[in-house]
Chain A
Amino acid sequence: SQQGEEDPQALSIQEGENATMNCSYKTSINNLQWYRQNSGRGLVHLILIRSNEREKHSGRLRVTLDTSKKSSSLLITASRAADTASYFCATVSGGETSGSRLTFGEGTQLTVNP
């Protein structure tokens, strides 16, 4: 299995509910990022959390990072139908000025039913 595994693979909830997605990784990281992808489209950067941070908020998004467990979670509160998309975590390892390549997780397909 590869760096950045996510669960669940698919999540279906009702509008207004909260959605939680989890991501696990294997190697040490500099930072972890969450991206959103609408069907057949490019990726949109949502939030970045550094390895020395434990929690970060951005609007209705809350990201946590547990480096001891090598895991992260993305919480979307008060979900909307427009939040329906695939969500990917991506890790960055190695020197921040050399490459900073992203390694993506498998993704979680979120469906928010109106």
Chain B
Amino acid sequence: GAVVSQHPSRVICKSGTSVKIECRSLDFQATTMFWYRQFPKQSLMLMATSNEGSKATYEQGVEKDKFLINHASLTLSTLTVTSAHPEDSSFYICSARMTSKVNEQFFGPGTRLTVL
């Protein structure tokens, strides 16, 4: 149980285009989902916290107009990187937390974004 999927696993796009990444909790309801960014050989940096039915809370320094987050249902959150640039190339990982286990986050497999 507690499986989180991400789609796509890998995406290559041209500079200026927008890319949407989906994060799904497959066998549980996730009231809260988190989006992280990880550069090569570095740690995970929290970008935003997404609660179902409400606006996401962004970390300092993360542009909310550039990284659009939607958490429309208890099993799906999306991250859209708008007008992507090469510096947005990174590994994006989501995690989901269930109401009954607030201390544990279940992570998706990640999405590798490459912006040309």
Contacts and interface: CB of A to CB of B under 8 A. Distances in A.
B93 A97 contact: no
A42 B109 contact: yes
A25 interface: no
B106 A45 contact: yes
A104 B95 CA distance: 13
A54 interface: no
**Number of chain B interface residues as a range:** 20 to 34
B103 A42 contact: no
A25 B43 CA distance: 14
A87 to B, nearest CB: 11
Interface string A85-114: 000100010001101111111110100000
Interface residues of A, number: 26
Nearest to A96: B102
Contacts of A11: none
Contacts of A42: 4, 6, 93, 107-110
B28 to A, nearest CB: 14
Contacts of B41: 109
A48 interface: yes
B104 interface: yes
A101 B109 contact: no
Nearest to A92: B103
Interface of A: 4, 30-31, 33, 35, 40-45, 48, 88, 92, 96-97, 99-107, 109
A40 B44 contact: no
Given A41-B110, A43-B44, A106-B42, A101 B34 contact: yes
A107 B43 contact: yes
Across the A-B interface, the 10 shortest Cβ-Cβ residue pairs:
A42-B107, A43-B107, A42-B109, A104-B43, A104-B44, A106-B43, A42-B110, A100-B102, A42-B108, A107-B43
A40 B43 contact: no
A101 B103 contact: no
A11 B24 CA distance: 34
